[in-house]
Amino acid sequence: MIIGTTEQGLKYAVRRSGNAVGYCSLTIKCGTRDEGDFHSGIAHFTEHTIFKGTEHKSSRVISGYLDKLGGELNAFTTKEEIVIHSTVLKEDLGKAASLLLELATCPTFPEEEISVEKGVVIDEIKSYKDSPADDVYDQFEENLFTGHPLGRSILGTPASVRKISGKELRKFTEERFIPENMALTIVADIDERKLEENVRKLVGKFFGGSNAAVYERTVQPIRLPQPFNRMVEKRNHEVNAVLGNFAPSLYDSEGRFASILLSNIIGGPASNSLLNSLLRERNGWVYGVESSYSQYTESGIMTISLGCERGNLEKCLDAVWKVIRKMQDEELSPSRLKAAKKQLLGQLAISSDNGETQCLSMGKSLISYGKIFTDKQNREAIEAVTSEAIRDAAVRIFSPERTSSLIFL
């Protein structure tokens, strides 16, 4: 793997694979938290409308460009990034990478296309609101990060989306989409030196000299709010509950690996997680239960989410706290710790074997840390986590006095 920075400030990483398919992604350090005084939801709306035309291609040409090559073009928005990515045959990788940079550097945002896309995004917002499990989590996160940029809604509101104009979109991308805040990553069965040479040529073509405009993200300390425990009457056919608290950030190297293991053990994707075993497999009290751990710049957030019938809510919450208290009071046995680490390492190995996942992960790492951690480094970090560190994470994150909850009845 070759990692570098162009003279314009754009970071890149190229990695050779043994696959006939090539993957490329452009990660832009510009998510919902970076919207500032722009209308809420503009980052996500930019992701939607960036495909609607450039100075050189119409929306029809863009939509058919990779279709003709049998490739795919996608994008997504998070609280901290917008990511545009493509999958093509390796011989077409140059065209795909060129298109990603073209979309990011010279979008036109035609008003007629914007008008149509507003309807699409507003429908998406309404659809999301119709999914209680998604809605309760988003509202929980917004409440926990109240007053902080991380508390902003990714989708925005129908009212805020209606106010977004082509002029505002152009201003947003001109100010935020700068090479210093971008990372281009490529995974393909092509010589890495050749890939690097082509990346540098492409970046020089689209950005020319260094960009005069520089946007720097404002890092704001997290102001700890009073914990909240709220119940909202929704009259849904099932109850949806979320409880959780702040957790280690992206940059807490020791704390985040202990937290990843803690989340995996309590309610990770495997069916043998403590909560799934107790609430679903043994007792059949829930439709679903999971733990999640999201890492951001200033802080992370760990939550436990579940869906159940109203009559099962109290015993489900009691069982959740029983599992938490067990993690806080007892250190894992050596055999249980070894099994938890093996399971996590297996999940990571399977994930990294996917070229697209690998490419996206490289972009996230490069834009966040300025480097990419090797599989060996990640494995060593996981193996270094102790039972005591996991217990301490459980005590710190799920302190009863600091844990918040939101329940849709």
238-251 residue pLDDT tens: 999 999 999 999 99
Three-state SS string over the chain comes to CEEEECCCCCEEEEEECCCCEEEEEEEECCCHHHCCCCCCCHHHHHHHHCCCEECCCEHHHHHHHCHHHCCEEEEEECCCCEEEEEEEEHHHHHHHHHHHHHHHHCECCCHHHHHHHHHHHHHHHHHHHCCHHHHHHHHHHHHHCCCCHHHCCCCCCHHHHHCCCHHHHHHHHHHHCCHHHEEEEEEECCCHHHHHHHHHHHHHHHHCCCCCCCCCCCCCCCCCCCCCEEEECCCCCCEEEEEEEEECCCCCHHHHHHHHHHHHHHHCCCCCCHHHHHHHHHCCCEEEEEEEEEECCCCEEEEEEEEECHHHHHHHHHHHHHHHHHHHHCCCCHHHHHHHHHHHHHHHHHHHCCHHHHHHHHHHHHHHHCCCCCHHHHHHHHHCCCHHHHHHHHHHHCCCCCCEEEEEC
C-alpha–C-alpha distance, residues 247 and 397, integer Å:
6
pLDDT digits (tens, 9 = 90+) for 243-283: 999 999 999 988 999 999 999 999 988 778 999 999 999 99
- Domain residue spans of the chain: 2-207, 229-408
Burial string for 63-74 (b: 16+ CB within 10 Å, else e) reads: eebbeeeebebe
What per-residue confidence (pLDDT) applies to 70? Answer: 86
C-alpha–C-alpha distance, residues 405 and 407, integer Å:
7
Domain 229-408: CATH superfamily is Metalloenzyme, LuxS/M16 peptidase-like (3.30.830.10)
Q: Cβ distance 168 to 46 under 8 Å?
A: no
**CATH value of 2-207 in 3.30.830.10, 3.10.180.10, 3.30.499.10, 2.60.120.10:** 3.30.830.10
What per-residue confidence (pLDDT) applies to 271? Answer: 77
List average pLDDT for each run of 10 residues in the chain, which is 409 residues long.
94 92 96 95 96 91 85 95 96 94 95 93 90 93 94 95 96 94 95 93 84 74 87 90 96 93 90 91 94 96 96 96 96 93 91 90 95 91 96 96 95
What per-residue confidence (pLDDT) applies to 222? Answer: 86
What per-residue confidence (pLDDT) applies to 224? Answer: 78
What per-residue confidence (pLDDT) applies to 66? Answer: 80
What per-residue confidence (pLDDT) applies to 217? Answer: 82
What per-residue confidence (pLDDT) applies to 69? Answer: 82
What per-residue confidence (pLDDT) applies to 210? Answer: 54
